Amino acid sequence: MLYLAFAAIPIFDNSATFAAEPKAPDSSVDRGYKALTETPFVPPLWSYSSYDKLWKVWEAKEKPANYQGEVQKRYGLHSAPFKNGELPMGLRKASFLIEGLTIDCMVCHAGSILGKSYIGLGNSSLDVHALFEDLNLAEGRKTKLPFTFSNARGTNEAGGMGVYLLGYREPDLKLRSSRKDLGLHDDLCEDVPAWWILKKKQTMYYTGGADARSVRSKMQFMMSPLVSRADFERHEKAFQDIDAFIKSVEAPKYPFPIDQKLADKGGLVFNENCAKCHGTYGEKWTYPNKIIPIEQIGTDRKRFDGITAKFGEAYNESWFSKEKGDGYLVTQTKGYQAPPLDGIWATAPYLHNGSVPTLYALLKSDVRPKLFTRSFETNEADYDRDKVGWKITEVKSIPMSISVFEQRKYYDTSKPGRSNRGHTFGDDLTEGERKAVLEYLKTL
């Protein structure tokens, strides 16, 4: 009953998204939700007390009164819509000899829109580099992170993390003493995809290189060197449930009024111009699961090039690929997968690298901002209802002499991995058609 009870209890006012269909009390979906929100899959990365010392790293004179709020604001974390002690969502208590602190999937895969937290919405506020760096400093560790975890706030180098961590493993997941270089790149600048689109997809990740059914692929994030082969095997069942939960998550509905007549018109334009790649919507939806060649889509290719065949080969030799029968091998595809657009109003910024802050700019490439910053807050005041996405401030240059932490708040589309070019399919629409499509997209 846990999962239905959660949906009904009003004190969790930051309600998470749940499947619309009521499930049997102890369904795989329920168990997945419970595992995800209660189990530390990654052993402690820091001692628990390091959380309480973060303010010292900020060089504050004293611990701020609203400490959790300040931590959330600084790193782009959000309140948990489930019990998480004093910790923001994404951080978790974990015991392993010591009372420790670790992260979980939600640090990236739970976000906030209009001030509400949702499991499954990508966290577009997060500065994961600062979070790790500061927790290390609070712990008294002076060593630098082994590579960049985030180049631009709201994006991260999850792909690079996977490549880095697999380098420490033998095919049977035994730990290696030295790291194999599997072609580590830390300039992919990845926006986190929403979990609610996975249920429609046959292939997953931005290039569509993995089978969406693969459970073990979703366990890659547990590859901390402290996790043994036996741990992976022990948790596989829980990840089958987590997979079921992920595929049960539904997109939140656009909460403001919609001009239905205009949206209907937009639906016709969409079906003519966009549906062949993005599918159709409503009760009898279709989704073609198309991967568009990189030359044709024309968006930034760092992510496409950055996870190399060398990684693919190592992955395909490893335990991760040996699931069910012949297993689920990863493949090198020709480009990027056109994603389902459900809940697209809530998932700004757009494109795989988060280089376009609004849907309007996505549909009119010559107005896409080149260098911009935003609040990284997620309240109504931060949301651009006209252009659908985040309100931004464009600048001519990044102010001199600001810290690297502050610099990451500027999205510079001239930098590697961050180009905002490509996907020009909206350019030929008339302004009227574009506005109509925009209205239609709010209904998805």
By CB under 6 A, residue 254 contacts ligand HEC = no
Least Å distance, CB 86 to ligand HEC, is 21
Q: How far apart are CA 122 and CA 108, in angstroms?
A: 6
Residue 33 interacting with ligand HEC (CB under 6 A):
no
Half-sphere exposure in the Cβ direction for 27 (13 Å, CA): 17
How far apart are alpha carbons 278 and 292 in whole angstroms?
11
Give the one residue of 102, 321, 347, 358 binding ligand HEC; rule: CB under 6 A: 347
Q: Are 152 and 408 in contact (CB under 8 A)?
A: yes
346 binds ligand HEC (CB under 6 A): no
436 lies in the site for ligand HEC, by CB under 6 A:
no
Residue 418's nearest CA partner among 210, 197, 156, 206 is 156
Q: Is 437 in the site for ligand HEC (CB under 6 A)?
A: yes
The structure tokens listed for 53 are: 């010392």
| φ/ψ of residue 340, rounded to 5 | -60, 150
Maximum distance among all Cα pairs of the chain, rounded to whole angstroms:
63
Stretch touching ligand HEC by CB under 6 A, among 106-114, 133-141, 315-323, 381-389: 106-114
Among 84, 333, 426, 435, indicate the residue that binds ligand HEC (CB under 6 A).
426
CB of 192 to ligand HEC, least distance (A): 5
- Output 74 or 218, the one with its CB closest to ligand HEC: 218
Candidates 188-196, 253-261, 369-377, 390-398: pick the segment binding ligand HEC (CB under 6 A).
188-196
Ranges of beta strands (E only) in 72-123 are 91-96, 98-103, 110-113, 116-119
Q: What DSSP letter does each residue of 233-283 carry, written as one string?
A: HHHHHHHHHHHHHHTT--PPPP-S---HHHHHHHHHHHHHHTHHHH-B-ST
Q: Between 9 and 145, whose beta carbon lies closer to ligand HEC?
A: 145
Instruction: Candidates 1-9, 91-99, 331-339, 400-408: pick the segment binding ligand HEC (CB under 6 A).
Output: 331-339
Alpha carbon of residue 217 to chain centroid: 16
Closer by beta carbon to ligand HEC, 55 or else 125: 125
Task: Indicate which single residue of 105, 110, 163, 346 sits in contact with ligand HEC (rule: CB under 6 A).
Answer: 105
Q: Which is nearer to ligand HEC, 54 or 103 (CB)?
A: 103
- Give, as ranges, the residues between 383 and 422 that touch ligand HEC (CB under 6 A): none
Nearer to ligand HEC, 30 or 190 (CB): 190
The structure tokens listed for 169 are 């493993």
Residue numbers 69-88 binding ligand HEC by CB under 6 A: none
Q: Candidates 81-89, 312-320, 347-355, 368-376: pick the segment binding ligand HEC (CB under 6 A).
A: 347-355
Nearer to ligand HEC, 31 or 423 (CB): 423
- State both tokens at 127: 């500065």
Q: Per rule CB under 6 A, is residue 159 in the interface with ligand HEC?
A: yes
Does the protein bind ligand HEC through residue 374 (CB under 6 A)? no
Exactly one of 113, 198, 314, 330 binds ligand HEC (CB under 6 A); which one? 198
What's the min distance (Å) between Cβ of 177 and ligand HEC? 25
Q: Which helix (H) or strand (E) holds 314?
A: helix 309-317
In whole angstroms, the minimum distance from the beta carbon of 208 to ligand HEC comes to: 8
Q: Is the peptide bond before 340 cis (omega within 30 degrees of 0)?
A: no
Residue placing its CB nearer to ligand HEC in the complex, 55 or 124:
124
Closer residue to ligand HEC, CB minimum distance, 102 or 373: 102
Contact flags string 295-324 toward ligand HEC, x per CB under 6 A? --x-x---x---------------------
Q: Binding of ligand HEC at residue 267 (CB under 6 A)?
A: no
Long-range Cβ contact pairs of 146-150 (< 8 A, separation 24 or more): 147/184, 147/186, 148/186, 148/187, 149/186, 150/126, 150/408
Binding-site size for ligand HEC (CB under 6 A) equals 48
Residue nearer to ligand HEC on the CB measure, 55 or 442: 442
Q: In terms of Cα–Cα distance, which of 330, 105, 300, 344 is closest to 203?
A: 330
Position among 34, 169, 185, 201 found at the interface with ligand HEC (CB under 6 A): 201
Tokens (6 digits) for 435: 């506005």
Q: Note the residues at the interface with ligand HEC (CB under 6 A).
A: 105, 107-109, 128, 156, 158-159, 190, 192-193, 197-198, 201, 204-206, 218, 221-222, 242, 246, 270, 273-274, 276-278, 292, 297, 299, 303, 336, 338-339, 341, 344, 347, 350-352, 359, 362-363, 423, 425-426, 437
